[in-house]
A and B are shown apart, each in its own frame.
Chain A
Amino acid sequence: MGKMWLGGGRVIDPSQRIDEIANVLIQDGRIEAVGRDIQAPDDAQVIDVSGQVVAPGLIDVHVHFREPGKEDAETIGTGARSAAAGGFTSVCTMPNTTPVTDNPAAIGFALKQAEVAGAARVLPIGAITLGQEGKQLAEIGKLVDAGAVAISDDGHPVESSHMMRTALEYAQIFDIPVADHCEEPTLAKGGSMHEGVVSTRLGLKGIPSAAEEIMVARDVILAELTGGHVHLCHMSTRGSVDIIRRAKEHGIKVTAEVTPHHLVLTHDMCDGYDTNSKMNPPLREAEDVEALQEALKDGTIDMIATDHAPHHYEQKERDFAEAPFGIIGLETALPVMLADLVETGIVDLPSLILRMSTEPAKAFRIDGGTLRRGSPADVVVFDPKVKGKVDVTRFKSKSRNTPFGGREIMGRILRTIVAGRTVFDAGSE
């Protein structure tokens, strides 16, 4: 494998507190050097990135690629290419496929499909329980051996507190996080959006914030009991933020993610029964958005994850209560965050990279999220200032289910590099 030299860009690497104009040299799929004085070797591919940002590739610990089972909505290949187009170099796939990714062969299949695609890295997450049924633990050791980076029953909450406790204890053997979709099922049952004034007006059954918060509190308590690492998926309420903040003050091993949509949208989006604004957890209220942004700033919430959840057009083309939960997010995450969080001054650009690359790598023990010498050459190059609008027809994803269609955004992903190889190049699109 050859050499690549990215010259003159604004290099941002929160893992080394670097934010300066510098050159990056990649050799044999690894970062060779970062610095102002690094010159391009004669045999290197020279790329002028002046005026652009060079950062460690984005990492998304929460995506749903629908293979096997619903390949009409997304495959591992289209998902991995969608990720690359969004500046992501690694994504962690949730195991709620059909059949469920609860065995080493299924993990191997996902890795094989990702290899064929040759786009972003795909790091599978195994199921906590067989069939995600909450009854019997999956063979977690074998899942990890096959390549699983975490376990989760995402899509379903782990209902049984005993099962959650056991998972948190057992996963410590392998030093992996247990990622939980926090939802108290009896409170959430039948709900299709946030319980509040909008659900009251629309006549839709609501999911109260308490449904999430009760399970967040339970998981934190079980993490303390067991000493295990609980990772809380897609946090959406002010109350959850408060619980996590207190847990972290007590030194409990908890990490948490928030989606771009929960950071910028509210339940008002559901007005008119827009099924592209239906996801679980649901969009909540302005005070929740404010609390989530604050939590991202102060580190109470560690990272941004998209919960990329593709659905075929006809699945969303239904009345609201019948339509499935979930929206896609890989190709809108960075531009939406640049427009709504960075341009507005809520977080600075290095902090955004921290939350979209460095921290997710750290929490999931992924080799990445840094431009340190010797680390994998997973890099994103983007123009942070160009303005545009979300054009769903240009998505690499097979699906189009997003509430961000037509939204004013900032930034354009120009190049995504995985292991020294360009897997997305806007110039050749």
Chain B
Amino acid sequence: MNGLTSSAKPAGAGLSLGKDLLGLELLSREQIQLILDTAEPFKAVSERAIKKVPTLRGKTIVNLFYEASTRTRVSFEFAEKRLSADTVNIAASGSSVEKGENLVDTARNLEAMRIDMVVIRHPSSGAAKFLAERIPSNVINAGDGWHEHPTQALLDLLSIRDKLGSLEGVKVCICGDILHSRVARSNIWGLLKMGAEVGVCGPKSLLPRGVESLGAHVFSHIEEAIAWADVLNVLRLQLERMQGGYIPSLGEYNRVFGITEERLENAPKELVVLHPGPMNRGVEIDSKVADGPHSVILHQVTNGVAVRMAILYLLAGGTAERASLHGAKDEIGEVG
């Protein structure tokens, strides 16, 4: 698994993402394809000794995080720095946000300092769109409430494509707390648009009303889901779901829905297992699975940087042709 099965045929010339990346529901298949294909040459940048290209030199990017995040924030920051952008991180705690400043005012103040892009993580669904409609900078949604987490889904798609060669016809089951999951929603849109089949599996109390109307098969038993799927995307079970009265206990959850080695051994085919992290080992996923041959979990993390580089590059006006036809080295250029 080297992740470089590059099918990098540049998708539709002249295609762009528009001003913002808010969610996969809003993107076309061609746009998703464009991002995935553009990510391919960027994978190589991170494999070099000098992991830096001058693509976004002189651009200023603000990472505005209203929720705690390690993986996503660091992944964005690496992507930005490897593209030579200047970056500022703002966390909600310790900033003017904590003093009661609202989102619009925060954004307008940043805008007044002449920034180019904002990466926003916010606990409210729709917050990224709200921001994007009010400032001229590019806005990238790094997760809004339960709504969407498009960069996570794109790196999931890329990881599945790396492993299986294509997304067309692949059966992906998203397992766990679908109700509260932005990762699930973005994956459903992205996978369906790319021609995959999507299943969801979890306790009925954690499945959103009418999820089947989005186009997903619903499984209430994990064994059925495993028998059906080629890929399992296992979501983190938030510990507070127990207090919320959605499930009786973590132990019970593991017994009924946990992805265990035994369950995978009984599967009719070899499954690929994804997890967006951070994992609760022994709850939704057993260590033997997480660390075993089915898992592409660390590959997802590696792909995360490449996908985010591709998105930053495309939103800044880059094209797939320049990124891939000439190859990352020549056109994206090495820092001299």
Which residues of A pack against B, CB within 8 Å?
195-197, 199-206, 208, 272-273, 314, 317-322
Residue B96, interface by CB 8 Å: no
**Please, which residues of chain B bring their CB within 8 A of the CB of A314?**
102
> Could you tell me if A202 and B210 are in contact, using CB atoms closer than 8 angstroms?
no
**Please, which residues of chain B bring their CB within 8 A of the CB of A195?**
209
21 contacts between A and B (CB under 8 A): A197-B209, A199-B208, A201-B25, A201-B185, A202-B125, A202-B126, A203-B125, A203-B145, A203-B146, A203-B148, A203-B185, A204-B145, A204-B147, A272-B129, A318-B103, A318-B130, A319-B125, A319-B126, A320-B124, A320-B126, A321-B126
Residue B2, interface by CB 8 Å: no
Q: Assuming the A-B contacts A273-B129, A318-B103, A319-B127, are A203 and B210 also in contact, with contact meaning beta carbons closer than 8 angstroms in the complex?
A: no
**Please, which residues of chain A bring their CB within 8 A of the CB of B185?**
201, 203
> Could you tell me if B125 and A320 are in contact, using CB atoms closer than 8 angstroms?
yes
**Please, which residues of chain A bring their CB within 8 A of the CB of B213?**
197, 200
> Could you tell me if B210 and A197 are in contact, using CB atoms closer than 8 angstroms?
yes
CB 8 Å contact bits of B119-135 with A (1 = contact, 0 = none): 00010111101100000
> Could you tell me if A204 and B146 are in contact, using CB atoms closer than 8 angstroms?
yes
> Could you tell me if A196 and B210 are in contact, using CB atoms closer than 8 angstroms?
yes
**Please, which residues of chain A bring their CB within 8 A of the CB of B129?**
272-273
> Could you tell me if A202 and B147 are in contact, using CB atoms closer than 8 angstroms?
yes
Q: How far is the CA of A323 from the CA of B128 in the complex (A)?
A: 15
Q: How far is the CA of A206 from the CA of B208 in the complex (A)?
A: 9
The 8 closest A-B pairs by CB, nearest first: A203-B147, A203-B146, A273-B126, A197-B210, A319-B124, A200-B208, A203-B125, A319-B127
> Could you tell me if A319 and B130 are in contact, using CB atoms closer than 8 angstroms?
yes
**Please, which residues of chain B bring their CB within 8 A of the CB of A197?**
209-210, 213-214
> Could you tell me if A273 and B146 are in contact, using CB atoms closer than 8 angstroms?
no
**Please, which residues of chain A bring their CB within 8 A of the CB of B126?**
202, 204, 273, 319-321
Q: How many residues of B contact A (CB 8 A)?
A: 24
> Could you tell me if B125 and A200 are in contact, using CB atoms closer than 8 angstroms?
no
Residue B104, interface by CB 8 Å: yes
Neighbour of B124 across the interface among A201, A208, A272, A322, CB < 8 A = A322
Q: How far is the CA of A203 from the CA of B214 in the complex (A)?
A: 13
Q: Give chain B interface residues in 123-164, CB to chain A under 8 Å.
A: 124-127, 129-130, 144-148
Q: Is the interface of B mostly helix, strand, loop or mixed?
A: mixed
Q: How far is the CA of A17 from the CA of B285 in the complex (A)?
A: 72
Give the nearest-CB partner of B213 in chain A.
A197
Residue B182, interface by CB 8 Å: yes
Neighbour of B214 across the interface among A201, A204, A206, CB < 8 A = A201
Q: How far is the CB of A2 from chain B (nearest CB, A)?
A: 53
Q: How far is the CA of A203 from the CA of B25 in the complex (A)?
A: 12
Neighbour of B125 across the interface among A208, A273, A317, A318, CB < 8 A = A273
Q: How far is the CB of B330 from chain A (nearest CB, A)?
A: 42
**Please, which residues of chain B bring their CB within 8 A of the CB of A196?**
209-210
Residue B196, interface by CB 8 Å: no
Q: How far is the CA of A272 from the CA of B185 in the complex (A)?
A: 16
CB 8 Å contact bits of B265-289 with A (1 = contact, 0 = none): 0000000000000000000000000
Residue B92, interface by CB 8 Å: no
Q: Assuming the A-B contacts A203-B182, A273-B126, A273-B129, are A321 and B145 also in contact, with contact meaning beta carbons closer than 8 angstroms in the complex?
A: yes
Residue B211, interface by CB 8 Å: yes
Q: How far is the CA of A197 from the CA of B127 in the complex (A)?
A: 20
**Please, which residues of chain A bring their CB within 8 A of the CB of B144?**
203
Q: How far is the CA of A197 from the CA of B213 in the complex (A)?
A: 7
Q: How far is the CB of A177 from chain B (nearest CB, A)?
A: 34
**Please, which residues of chain B bring their CB within 8 A of the CB of A322?**
124
> Could you tell me if B102 and A318 are in contact, using CB atoms closer than 8 angstroms?
yes
Given A202-B147, A321-B124; 17 other pairs, CB 8 A cutoff: A197-B209, A197-B214, A199-B209, A200-B210, A200-B211, A202-B125, A203-B145, A203-B185, A204-B126, A204-B146, A206-B209, A273-B130, A319-B122, A319-B127, A320-B125, A321-B145, A322-B124
Q: How far is the CB of B190 from chain A (nearest CB, A)?
A: 14
Q: How far is the CB of A89 from chain B (nearest CB, A)?
A: 39
Q: Give chain B interface residues in 280-302, CB to chain A under 8 Å.
A: none
> Could you tell me if A200 and B145 are in contact, using CB atoms closer than 8 angstroms?
no
Q: How far is the CA of A235 from the CA of B205 in the complex (A)?
A: 27
**Please, which residues of chain A bring their CB within 8 A of the CB of B103?**
318-319
Q: How far is the CB of B200 from chain A (nearest CB, A)?
A: 11
Q: How far is the CA of A361 from the CA of B148 in the complex (A)?
A: 49
> Could you tell me if B209 and A204 are in contact, using CB atoms closer than 8 angstroms?
no
Q: Give chain B interface residues in 153-186, CB to chain A under 8 Å.
A: 182, 185
CB 8 Å contact bits of B305-332 with A (1 = contact, 0 = none): 0000000000000000000000000000
Q: How far is the CA of A19 from the CA of B124 in the complex (A)?
A: 53
**Please, which residues of chain A bring their CB within 8 A of the CB of B102?**
314, 318
Q: How far is the CA of A319 from the CA of B126 in the complex (A)?
A: 6
Q: How far is the CA of A47 from the CA of B125 in the complex (A)?
A: 55
Give the nearest-CB partner of B23 in chain A.
A203
Q: How far is the CA of A205 from the CA of B147 in the complex (A)?
A: 10
Q: How far is the CA of A204 from the CA of B208 in the complex (A)?
A: 10
**Please, which residues of chain A bring their CB within 8 A of the CB of B104?**
317
**Please, which residues of chain B bring their CB within 8 A of the CB of A205?**
146
Q: How far is the CA of A201 from the CA of B211 in the complex (A)?
A: 8
**Please, which residues of chain A bring their CB within 8 A of the CB of B127?**
319
